[in-house]
Chain A
Amino acid sequence: MSFLEESLSYKGLDYGAFFSSITGSDILRILQQQKLSHLDFLTLLSPKASNYLEEMAQRAHELSVQYFGKTILLYTPMYLSNHCVNRCAYCSFNVDHDIKRDKLTLEEIEEEAKAIAKTGLKHILILTGESRKETPVSYILEATKVLKKYFSSISIEIYPLSTEEYMQVIDAGVDGLTIYQEAYDEDVYKKVHLAGPKKDYHFRLEAAERACEAKIRSVNIGALLGLGQWRQEAFMTGLHANYLQNKYMDVEVSVSLPRMRPHIGAFDDLDFVDDRDLVQILLALRIFLPHGGITISTREMANYRDHLIPLGVTKMSAGVTTAVGGHSSQEEGTSQFEIGDHRSVEEIKEAIIGKGYQPIFKNWMPI
């Protein structure tokens, strides 16, 4: 069964009726289990389960320490380009927006790399908008070649590629892929992706799987929480991660929990995820997928992020700018979204140590 078929099998589920049937003892029983079914996972995402966050947190913490220890891997994003042909209702890089468009030259990429490498970071995530004209695969390959000199792990967060193209970038030195479905609910997806190749829901949905076929080492998926009904979106995110992990056992699968933040744009039809909700999602995911990675970006505020550490986070970004060239240039470019944690790598490192955890700078290398 493909993930699409699996996700469609829940299309007829009456979430409201399911949620109202849940009792407190269902939740406590699930927290005792070694293995969770899909519906157990959904139970932990229910409104009822929000009354059991402390119990869930205890379990999630225990599993995290058991499988990952007290460690947090650090990385930072590097924006290579904000050229984009898509019209996404929620994004600052939307083609309709009159912002300064930039693309780093290979020399500028090297400058950025040097600035980032100085902070000690070894894991980098490169990002572009979707423009096969401005940032074709050949550009990604050249950028990777430069970045290899400075970083031991390179991940990409760019437009979805074909299997052959994923093979090319992997061959060049990319070992990780981040790709968010944004909205698993196809109707919501169509509503917010107004124009451009990103409109193709299915090509995007299957991108992570194509990268797995191409033998990537790690994939990181997620929904842009707030776009659709968040309990359902979080449910589908977990099922997607579980599907990938079961089918591609050699790939490290992780999940990000980006939620909507203010940006240049007019889209405000949101199912807002508050701080408690985000914690509930994180805990439910950790308990459902004890071996799965969980990434928390600087979209979240510094103090809030620190509190999330013992709940199951395995990876955090640090020293972040979401503007093209933001690490080395003094000029203020347009950010993709406003960040909530402006701390330097050093400050975040200290905060992690302060929580009794070890910041990890290197967890892979080209072999």
Chain B
Amino acid sequence: MDELIIGGVSLKSRLLIGTGKYASNQMMPKVIESCGTQVVTMAVRRVDLEGKEENILEYIPKDIVLLPNTSGARNADEAVRIARLARAMGCGNWIKIEVISDNKYLLPDNYETIKATEILAKEGFVVLPYMSPDLMAAKAMESAGAAAVMPLGAPIGTNRGLRTKELVQILIDEIKVPIIVDAGIGKPSQATEAMEMGAAAVLVNTAIASSSNPIEMARAFGLAVEAGRLAYLSKVGPQARLANASSPLTGFLRGVEE
């Protein structure tokens, strides 16, 4: 059976989703159900344990793996402190490291992310670092103990698709831990594209949350990820530049005059 294993947990669904930007938390259980995701990320800074009605954790089914993220961290030190808070708050030991010191493009800081990955992996966290697709940085995160590496497809929230495709492909080819494309995926077809390339999974938030019908869009993404994975496993047939009937260079061997 085709399973994705992260931090010792076996996952059937290769779609991870976020909880930000929704018009209402009440929508979350339906979105989760309709796409079949098993891993849901949430900003630790938004988690409000005292406010029952506003506490996002109340809206996530118990069998879902929580992936708290360090949104708001500007450096490794802040990311580490937020991760420890998440654990203390009862969010488990998975952590998505987000270190962003740029409020303009919201691009991750790979250098600080590597540092935080090292510290948190040593503390027993299952660390999933969000990063700009760079081979050396990904290798450093892998050797620092990352359980998966999460390169961006395009700047977060832009819905612009796999703009970093060539670089992500290199990570897929070279990094041994799972590569999860995070950020930028704007439509189901782009999620399929990432999966066809061999990405282990994708994480989608804005594209679902900002659609007119998040529940149906979540389902579309669930199907798209599955389709892309099946296509990847079935090995997409080679693409040909010319129709197969003609052999302009070797046709003479068969006595065909071109």
Contact = CB atoms under 8 A, between A and B. Distances in A.
Interface of A: 65-71, 120, 122, 217, 245-246, 249-253, 291, 353, 356-365, 367
A69 B210 contact: yes
Contact of A66 (B22, B73, B159): B159
B106 interface: yes
B24 interface: yes
B101 A250 contact: yes
A358 B103 contact: no
A359 to B, nearest CB: 8
Nearest to B43: A363
A364 to B, nearest CB: 5
B157 interface: yes
**What does DSSP make chain B's interface, helix, strand, loop or mixed?**
loop
Given A67-B157, A356-B23, A364-B45, A249 B72 contact: no
26 contacts: A65-B210, A66-B158, A66-B159, A69-B21, A69-B22, A69-B23, A70-B209, A71-B21, A122-B48, A246-B104, A249-B103, A250-B103, A291-B104, A353-B24, A357-B23, A358-B23, A359-B54, A361-B48, A361-B54, A362-B46, A362-B47, A363-B46, A364-B45, A365-B44, A367-B82, A367-B85
A246 B20 CA distance: 25
A70 B54 CA distance: 15
B51 to A, nearest CB: 6
Nearest to A292: B103
Nearest to B80: A367
Nearest to B75: A250
Nearest to A249: B102
**What does DSSP make chain A's interface, helix, strand, loop or mixed?**
loop
A365 B85 contact: yes
B157 A358 contact: no
A367 B24 contact: no
Given A66-B210, A120-B51, A367-B82, A360 B46 contact: yes
B216 interface: no
Nearest to A361: B54
A364 B21 CA distance: 16
Contacts of A253: 103
Given A120-B51, A362-B48, A363-B45, A69 B104 contact: no
Contacts of A250: 74, 101-103
Given A360-B46, A364-B72, A120 B103 contact: no
A362 B55 CA distance: 9
B85 A69 contact: no
Contact of B25 (A65, A252, A358): A358
A362 B25 CA distance: 14
Nearest to B109: A250
A291 B158 CA distance: 11
Contacts of B158: 66
B103 A245 contact: yes
B181 to A, nearest CB: 19
A362 B54 contact: yes
A41 to B, nearest CB: 15
A361 B103 contact: no
A68 B51 CA distance: 21
A159 B85 CA distance: 34
A253 B46 CA distance: 19
A121 to B, nearest CB: 10
The 8 closest A-B pairs by CB, nearest first: A69-B21, A70-B23, A250-B101, A362-B48, A249-B102, A367-B81, A250-B74, A356-B23
A180 to B, nearest CB: 21
A249 B101 contact: yes
A358 B210 contact: no
B104 A245 contact: yes
Identify which of B22, B23, B73 gathers the most chain A CB atoms within 10 Å of its CB: B23
Interface in B197-237: 206, 209-210
A120 B48 CA distance: 10
Contacts of B159: 66
Contacts of B73: 367
A358 B48 contact: no
A66 B103 contact: no
Nearest to B159: A66
Interface string B151-171: 000000111000000000000
